[in-house]
Amino acid sequence: MAEYFWAGLLLGLLIWVLAEAAMQFRRPVCKRLRERVFAVVQADGPVGEMEYCLRRIRADLAGCGFNGCEVLLLDENLGPEERDAAARLEGVRLCTGEELKKLPLDL
């Protein structure tokens, strides 16, 4: 019976170590990188559930440690409902292709 206890304890420890190692890969490498992260989303035509999609992108990035991330929504023929949904959300910025080319991005 004791061998099952130790085997379970060892297995639990191994799972914990693997989970911690995996979480280290999801975290940003440095604070400077975390401050400069943004996402570019191309939207063409009517998009269903635009607000949900944008909130999900921000939540996924925040879950990885990118709390100050800005989402640049590339507007290509969006409808008024989609533009209103994007304007309501904090951290989402509508831009055209020309505006995106003018941004000072160090890529």
The answer to pTM > 0.85 is no
d(CA 53, CA 43): 11
The pLDDT, as a whole number, for residue 23 is 73
CB 77 within 8 A of CB 45: yes
d(CA 101, CA 29): 27
Angle among Cα 12, 24, 19 to the nearest 5 degrees reads: 15
Going from the C-alpha of 21 to that of each of 14, 84, 102, the distances in angstroms are 11, 41, 39
Whole-number average pLDDT of the chain: 78
d(CA 87, CA 106): 26
Provide mean pLDDT across the span 60-85: 80
Confidence check: pLDDT of 99 > 60: yes
